[in-house]
Amino acid sequence: MDITKVRSEFPILHRKTYLNSCSLGALSHRATAHLESFQEQWRELGASAWYGPWWDTIEELRGRVARFLGTHSTQIALLPSTSAALSVIAESVDYGRRNRVVCTELDFPTLAYQWAVKPGVELVVLKSDDGIRVDPQRFADAVDDRTAFLATSHVFYTTGYVQDLDPLAEIAQRAGAYLFIDGYQGPGQIPVDLGASQVDFYTTGPLKWLCGGPGLSYLYVREELIQKLQPRITSWFAARDQFDFDLENFVPQDDARRFELGTPSLPTIHTALGGQEIIDEVGIDAIYERNRMLTAHVVTRALESGFELTTAPDPDDRSAIVMIRNPDPPAAVARLAEQGIIVDHRPGHVRVSPHFYNTTDEIDQCIDALSDG
């Protein structure tokens, strides 16, 4: 990896010490160029841009994302958010016989909220013994023949812990439940091969580690389930004959597009393509190895400086999210921001998340500044 070339793509790195990719990936020159191209097409072509470049860009992004995730474009739906992806799938299932949904206290709230508001659904929130992970046995004990979904994260946003999806898939399959994985903190920082997995549904997107911006989510649906589920939240992009405008005879698409909604966010489609191109060119294996090195450096420097961490002790279980305990995280984050160091906070912690474009010098600067507080 040519780190100088990589860093030259991201303007913010020349002005700030940016260590907050788990909240928002840095904007690249490439993504900006794609966005400017979209604006030019809009300005010069108006709606006729739909008949050529815009449809092509949508499908180019879908294809790139599918290959990156180890699957086929027919298994990828484009939606405006993880919330929308969750809603579409959650409303495609009958809860008459199976009305239990199992998640964990370490998952992002969107996951639990989806089912917490549904009348008649029993939401089970599993506790963590150590505040870092949830033992797979807890899932095994909770998931039974009443369970509709085992819904949890690939990477916990609270701790950076990377869950092994294989045992979770086995637990769900044994009980006849669906496995829904919120993967928004995964792809772009760790390798993901959905084609080799038994995951039923997986959602991710360009906002964070894929450096493509907000307003878009990618939903993977296992091939055998696409025709089985009938969406009850839908719109015209999900219709097989989209431009027939037949209000009385809705027939869904034959592939994962049946789970799509309305017109996608074209600006984000373009910025996401720019981010994905860079990720593909650098390569996820190279990114993963560099992020392991950077994460280890954060952990080592933080511990040497006397900080306590909420992170997995085994490096193989870690992602590039490091939680540093702090008595006043909002104040610490604000103080670092005044020094040009961008990190984030979550309850009781300053959250530091380096990405492949960062350096160990930037991490040293961050830890030193945090120590001076």
- Mean of per-residue pLDDT scores for the chain: 96
Q: What is the mean pLDDT of residues 306-319?
A: 96
Q: At what angle do helices 29-45 and 53-68 cross, to 10 degrees?
A: 150
pLDDT on residue 243: 78
pLDDT on residue 193: 97
Residue 250 pLDDT level (bands cut at 50, 70, 90): confident
How many residues appear in the chain?
373
Q: Which residues neighbour 118 within 8 Å (Cβ) at sequence distance 6 or greater?
A: 90, 95
Q: Is the pLDDT of residue 245 over 90?
A: no
Query: Does residue 367 contact residue 341 with C-beta atoms inside 8 Å?
Result: no
pLDDT on residue 251: 85
Residue 238 pLDDT level (bands cut at 50, 70, 90): confident
Among positive and negative, which fits the CA dihedral 263, 267, 269, 272? negative
Partnered with residue 265 across adjacent β-strands are none
Q: Which residues neighbour 227 within 8 Å (Cβ) at sequence distance 6 or greater?
A: 254
Q: What is the mean pLDDT of residues 221-245?
A: 88
pLDDT on residue 248: 83
Q: Which domains are assigned to the chain?
A: 3-29+283-371 (3.90.1150.10), 35-279 (3.40.640.10)
Q: What is the pLDDT of residues 27-45, one digit of tens each?
A: 999 999 999 999 999 999 9
pLDDT on residue 3: 95
Q: What is the mean pLDDT of residues 235-261?
A: 85
Q: What is the mean pLDDT of residues 42-67?
A: 95
pLDDT on residue 372: 87
Q: Give the whole-number percent of the chain exceeding pLDDT 90.
A: 92
pTM (2 decimals)? Answer: 0.95
Q: Is the pLDDT of residue 373 over 80?
A: no
Q: What is the pLDDT of residues 68-121, one digit of tens each?
A: 999 999 999 999 999 999 999 999 999 999 999 999 999 999 999 999 999 999
Q: What is the pLDDT of residues 143-191, one digit of tens each?
A: 999 999 999 999 999 999 999 999 999 999 999 999 999 999 999 999 9
Strand runs labelled E in the chain: 17-18, 76-79, 100-104, 122-126, 147-153, 178-182, 201-204, 217-221, 322-325, 341-342, 344-346, 349-352
Q: Is the pLDDT of residue 242 over 90?
A: no
Return d(Cα 261, Cα 256) in angstroms, integer: 11
pLDDT on residue 118: 92
Return d(Cα 272, Cα 41) in angstroms, integer: 17
